[in-house]
Structure 1
């Protein structure tokens, strides 16, 4: 029987709590960052060739989670006016494809993937309103209100903890950074939030 050995692992993680906005931090007090950071560290010390990609928050969240809220006229999140380096999942896929096709080139690299601009929820929704002719608003709520809402939707407690942890990371400014990773790896600039909205405009109409 032939035996096979893993030669290179390409792992997706998340942005972390640090001034440089790098990768998940196993020492973070935020649950999602600590969990992912511990796994990242295991990979680094495994002796296996690796590449870690760490995307920021997805533009597509406005499709997956906020379509109904946007149509209703108000999006609620417990994040204040902190900015986020929103990234289109198509850019994440393009970067990861290059890593998988050229593992040697990215051996030992840790790539933070963001869009080209940082936008708060208020700013992102303003762009959506401009492109879609709507008047939806953003309202920042408390953690308690957010937990009550997701609990009513019967999410498991672990998922609720992770969601709140992600929102805490935004409030603490961990998601604000932007990088040139998409340009560096793919040779083209990242998709803008305006382009994302235009490409999916029928979703919110």
Structure 2
């Protein structure tokens, strides 16, 4: 019996890796693209807009499973509601949602509360569901902070909090394992982490040693970080979400580890030292 998968967020960090894994496994899948978005070469694309529930319902029809990964935008909750309603109306049987570690609708932490509220929409949809809650991505170092590192220092208000960083390839492989047979994972919540919890100072030291370039971590006041994001023109609610992430790290709440990656993929999650070695040429 055929099992058709629709992947959203396919051009993002997780989505690109997930598409690669699904292609390798010869899965029957397509990707959702927005009217103004990028296509994915060599992959069937369907066009829809998260802000237009009717367009989503049209393109969701004929798919059995939806991999739901939403952009971090001010109206993210509204877009999630549109997607869940459209999936139900279109006859989708199962939603696999990419959420975030610590998601909890009752949390005082802004980003955890948002992720938890979206998770509740999925759980209350009446459809089959599986929640993936990854920790912070190792790839953020090269995708967002490479210029800071090359200049010699990474600045953040994270204190000495440790983080169970995860490689996005492990997130993608975990997602692919669930998508292969979602019924087996129905009603399950997986928190995806790496094998060790490291502070920003430890991570930067590993990147510095691997690349041979002097680098250090500079802990900055929260007010300074907030002011910098304001100067960048970020929307206030997005600044609140990012500041809440920094608070989570500083308080040590991001240090938890699980074996969920190994359970789903059959192999241990990738180590940060290996990621640092692979990224050395990018940071030189």
Assess same fold via TM > 0.5: yes
Q: Which has the higher contact order (CA 8 A, sep 6+)?
A: 1
SS in 2 for 1:86: coil
Judge conservation of contact 1:10–1:52 (CA < 8 Å) in 2.
yes
1:59 and 2:138 correspond: yes
- Which of 76, 79, 91 is the aligned partner of 1:5? 91
TM-score of the aligned structures, taking structure 2 as reference length: 0.67
Q: For 1:199 and 1:137, locate their aligned partners in 2 and report how far apart those are by CA, in whole Å.
A: 19
The aligned counterpart of 2:164 is 85
> What is the 5 A alignment of 1:17-56?
24-56=103-135
SS in 2 for 1:202: helix
Q: For 1:43 and 1:203, locate their aligned partners in 2 and report how far apart those are by CA, in whole Å.
A: 38
Judge conservation of contact 2:211–2:281 (CA < 8 Å) in 1.
no
Judge conservation of contact 1:8–1:103 (CA < 8 Å) in 2.
yes
The aligned counterpart of 1:21 is none
SS in 1 for 2:233: coil
The aligned length equals 197
> What is the 5 A alignment of 1:1-205?
4-16=90-102, 24-205=103-284
Structure 1 segments, 4+ long, off by >6 Å, are none
TM-score of the aligned structures, taking structure 1 as reference length: 0.92
Judge conservation of contact 1:15–1:174 (CA < 8 Å) in 2.
no
SS in 2 for 1:105: helix
Q: For 1:39 and 1:154, locate their aligned partners in 2 and report how far apart those are by CA, in whole Å.
A: 26
Q: For 2:154 and 2:118, locate their aligned partners in 1 and report how far apart those are by CA, in whole Å.
A: 33
Structure 2 stretches lacking a partner, 5+ long? 1-60, 63-89
CA RMSD of aligned residues (A): 1.4
